[in-house]
Amino acid sequence: MTILRRWQAIDGVHLFWGLNKMNQFIYRIRKIRIKYPLWLLLSFLGCYWTAEAFISRYWRGLLYKTELYAKVPIYLSASGRLSLLLVIILALMILIDNLHVFARKRIAIPAALIPGTYMMIIAILSIVTGLMNAEGFRSPSTILFSSVYFILVAVTEELVYRGVTADIFLKTFLFNSNPYGAGSYDQNGRKAIWTAIICSGLVFGLAHLSNVSHSSVSGVLVQMLGAFLMGMVLTAVYYRTANIYAVIILHAVNDIAAALPATIVQSQQTISDVISGYGIMDILMLLPYLAVLLIILRPSKMEEIWGCWIAEQNRT
C-alpha cells in the first residue's frame, strides 16, 4: 500500500510539472501573439500548410494499406481527411488563443449574410441553372458526401483565412495606425482596413496555387485571381459582421455552385476538369466583385468597422 501511494504521489508531481510547463508554453505563445503577431501568423500558416500536405500525402497511403481505398467513396475519404485537418486547426487556434471567433457575433447570421447578397444570389442562380439543365444526377451518396466535403472545406478555410489570418492582419494594422486605441477614424484607419483586406485576399489566393499539381496552369491562375477577389469580399463581410458563421455559409454555397458539374449533376467532369476549364469569361464574371467590395466598404461602414474592432482591441 505504501508503494502504491508513493507511485501515486510521483504521478501527481509529474502531472503537475507537465501542466505547469504546458501553461508556461501557452503563455509564451500568447506573448508572441501580442508582440510579434505577424510572425505568429506565419508560424500558424506554416503549421497548417505542413499538416495539410502531410495528411494529403499519407491519407491515401493509409487507405491503400488497409485495403479501404476501393471501398470508400472518394468524397467520404476526402471528408475524413479534412476532419482530421480541422482537429489540427482547432488545436492550433487553442494554442494561439483564437477561439473567440466562435463567440464573436456582432451581427446575427441572417443579417450578416446581407453584405454577401450578391455572392449568394450568383451562387444560387448557378446551382438552379445547373440543376435545370442537368440530364441526370449522381447517386444520393455522392451528392451527400460531396456536400459534406465542401462544407468542411468552407469551415477549415474560413477558420484559417478569416478567423485567424484576417483577424491578425486587421488587429496588427489597426494597432500600428492607432497604438493607444484612442482618437477618431481617419485616413490611417481606412488604410489599415484596406491593407488587411488586400493581404488576406492575397494569402487566400496564393493558397490555391497547390491545385497546379492536378489542373492546368491557366485554369489555376484564373482560380487564384477569383480566390483573391472573393477572399477580399469574404474578409470585408467578416470585418463588417464579425460573424465567422456567415462567411462559412457564403463560402460553402459558392464552392458547391462552382463544383456542381463534378459533384451533383451527371457528367464526366472532375474537380480538376472544372478548374482547368476556367478562362477569360470567368475573369469577366469576377469583375463585379470589385463593385461589391466598394459597396460593402463604403465610408460609413468603414468607420463602423474601425470603431468595433478598436473597441475589441481595447478590451483585449
Predicted pLDDT of residue 314? 65
Q: 10 pLDDT exceeds 60? A: no
Q: 245 pLDDT exceeds 90? A: yes
Return the domain boundaries, the chain: 1-35, 106-315
- Which range is most confident: 163-172, 187-196, 300-309? 163-172
**pLDDT (average), residues 235-239:** 95
Closest of 131, 109, 146 to residue 250, by C-alpha: 109
Confidence tier at 27 by pLDDT (50, 70, 90): low
Q: 25 pLDDT exceeds 80? A: no
- Name 188's Cβ contacts closer than 8 Å, sequence gap at least 6: 177, 178
Confidence tier at 239 by pLDDT (50, 70, 90): very high
- Which range is most confident: 39-48, 101-110, 213-222? 39-48
| Cβ 223 vs Cβ 88: under 8 Å | no
Predicted pLDDT of residue 47? 93
Helix 217-241 vs helix 244-258: angle between axes, to the nearest 10 degrees? 150
What amino acid occupies position 25?
F
What amino acid occupies position 283?
I
| Cβ 210 vs Cβ 221: under 8 Å | no
Confidence tier at 1 by pLDDT (50, 70, 90): very low
Q: 276 pLDDT exceeds 60? A: yes
User: Which residue did the predictor score with more confidence, 185 or 207?
Assistant: 207
**pLDDT (average), residues 145-160:** 94
Least confident window among 104-113, 148-157, 195-204 = 104-113
Q: 162 pLDDT exceeds 90? A: yes
Predicted pLDDT of residue 285? 82
Q: 164 pLDDT exceeds 50? A: yes
Predicted pLDDT of residue 284? 84
**pLDDT (average), residues 144-164:** 93
Q: 183 pLDDT exceeds 70? A: no
Give 88's Cβ-side CA count (13 Å radius).
19
Distance, CA of 243 to CA of 308 (rounded, Å)? 13
- Name 105's Cβ contacts closer than 8 Å, sequence gap at least 6: 112, 241, 242, 243, 245
